[in-house]
């Protein structure tokens, strides 16, 4: 059995990463694609993301015991990807992880064969989505729009534009994974 491929999903806030990953979570298993949950020190009902909520103490306890494959901090929260993804990859599953552009170098060190995936959208669509979710002030939204260009697109990235139908973005991502799978190595 060959190892699976890790797809490291990133992009600016408001690009619709969680929505696209939610769509893939519902439709991707038929294609052998799993979406890893993130462990976040944020209440379960906050954020609109299918994540596992941990207290800071529990997060630190898990991190000290090596139960995360990746961890990072952003926006005053701790984020982690569970070490179970290494098990899934070893068993031949392709795995999508919702990462952070700032933690991308760490992810490359931990998983040198990963494929970067950038989910993006135009500034107007992003501003509209950020305003609709109601978590950021107008100043916060303006800052996020400026920051969306702060990170260069990593070489070899799959770029998925999520501006129209969610299913189109999800299908485009699954097709890109199918196309890239032939070149994936462990």
pLDDT for the residue numbered 185: 46
- Bridge partners (DSSP) of residue 52 are 39
Q: Residue 11 annotated as binding? A: yes
Q: Residue 15 annotated as binding? A: yes
pLDDT for the residue numbered 48: 61
**Region for 109 from its dihedrals, namely left if φ exceeds 0, alpha if ψ lies in -120 to 50, beta otherwise:** alpha
Check which CATH number belongs to the domain holding 34 and give it.
3.40.50.300
pLDDT for the residue numbered 164: 87
For residue 81, the 8-state DSSP code is: E
Number of domains in the chain: 1
Q: Residue 12 annotated as binding? A: yes
Other beta carbons within 10 Å of 74: 13
Is 186 inside a domain boundary?
Answer: no
Per-residue pLDDT of the chain (186 residues; tens, 9 = 90+): 688 999 999 999 889 998 999 999 998 877 788 999 999 998 767 656 678 899 999 999 999 999 999 999 988 999 999 999 999 999 999 999 999 998 999 999 999 999 999 999 988 998 898 888 887 888 888 888 888 887 889 999 999 999 989 999 999 999 999 888 655 544
Q: Residue 16 annotated as binding? A: yes
Q: Residue 122 annotated as binding? A: no
Decide: helix, strand or coil at residue 34.
Answer: strand
CA pair distance 162, 128, nearest whole angstrom = 13
pTM of the model: 0.88
Q: Residue 17 annotated as binding? A: yes
Is 1 inside a domain boundary?
Answer: no
pLDDT for the residue numbered 38: 92
Backbone angles phi, psi at 118, to 5 degrees: -110, 115
Q: Residue 55 annotated as binding? A: no
**What domain range is 133 assigned to?**
6-181
Q: Residue 179 annotated as binding? A: no
Is 134 inside a domain boundary?
Answer: yes
């Amino acid at each position: 059995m060959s190892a699976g491929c890790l797809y490291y999903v990133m992009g600016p806030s408001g690009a619709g990463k969680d929505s696209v990953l939610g769509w893939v979570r519902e439709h991707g298993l038929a294609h052998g694609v799993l979406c890893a949950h993130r462990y976040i020190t944020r209440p379960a009902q906050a954020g609109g993301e299918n994540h596992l909520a941990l207290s800071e103490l529990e997060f630190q306890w898990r991190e000290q015991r090596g139960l995360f494959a990746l961890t990072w901090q952003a926006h005053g929260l701790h984020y982690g990807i569970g070490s179970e993804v290494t098990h899934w990859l070893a068993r031949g599953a392709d795995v999508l992880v919702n990462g952070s552009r700032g933690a991308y170098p760490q992810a490359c060190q931990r998983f040198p064969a990963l494929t970067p995936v950038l989910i993006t959208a135009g500034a107007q669509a992003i501003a509209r989505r950020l305003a609709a979710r109601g978590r950021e002030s107008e100043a916060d939204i303006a800052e996020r729009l400026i920051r969306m260009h702060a990170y260069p697109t990593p070489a070899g990235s799959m770029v998925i534009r999520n501006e129209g139908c969610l299913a189109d973005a999800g299908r485009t991502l699954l097709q890109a994974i199918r196309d890239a799978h032939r070149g994936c190595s462990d």
